[in-house]
Amino acid sequence: MKYKMMSRLMASAALVCAGASAQAADVEVLHWWTAGGEAAALNVLKEDLSTKGVGWEDMPVAGGGGEAAQTTLKARVASGNPPTAAQLLGMQVREWAQEGALGDLTQAAEAGGWADVVPGALKDFAMYDGKWVAVPVNIHRPNWLWINAAIFEENGLTPPTTWEEFNTVAQTLKDKGITPLAHGGQPWQDATVFDDVVLGIGGADFYRKAIIEADMDALGSDTMVQVFDQMRTLRGFVDDNFSGRDWNLATAMVLNGEAAMQLMGDWAKGEIIRADMVPGEDILCVAAPGTEGSYLFNTDFFAAFDVSDDNRDAQMELASAVMSPSFQEAFNLVKGSIPARTDVSPEKFDACGQKAMKDIVEAEGNGSLLGSLAHGHGQTSAVQRAIFDVVTEHFNSDMSSQDAVEELQIAVESAAM
Ligand code: BGC
Cβ(204)–Cβ(368) under 8 Å? yes
Record the pTM. 0.94
* Residue among 88, 89, 91, 140 to mutate when testing ligand 1 (max atoms within 8 A of CB): 140
Give the whole-number percent of the chain exceeding pLDDT 70.
94
- Over residues 155-177, the pLDDT tens digits come to 999 999 999 999 999 999 999 99
63: left (phi over 0), alpha (psi -120 to 50) or beta: left
Give the residue, by CA position, lying nearest to ligand 1 atom 8: 300
46-50, 308-312, 347-351: least confident range: 308-312
Q: Look at residue 25 in the predicted model and tell me its pLDDT.
A: 74
Output the residue whose Cα is nearest ligand 1's atom 10: 267
Q: What is the DSSP string of 54-81?
A: -EEEEEE---GGGHHHHHHHHHHHHTT-
> What is the set of domains in the chain, with CATH numbers?
24-140+298-354 (3.40.190.10), 144-296+372-416 (3.40.190.10)
* Contact between residue 194 and residue 372 where contact means Cβ atoms under 8 Å apart: no
Ligand 1 pocket mutation pick from 32, 144, 338 by most atoms within 8 angstroms of CB: 32
Q: Is residue 211 pLDDT above 50, yes or no?
A: yes
Confidence (pLDDT) at 186: 98
| Alpha carbon distance 72, 360 (integer Å) | 33
Task: Give the confidence band of 307 by pLDDT, cuts at 50, 70, 90.
Answer: confident
The number of the ligand 1 atom at minimal distance from the alpha carbon of 270 is 10
Distance in angstroms (rounded) separating the CA atoms of residues 387 and 398: 17
- Beta-carbon contacts of 200 under 8 Å, excluding residues fewer than 6 positions away, are 143, 162, 163, 288, 289, 290, 291
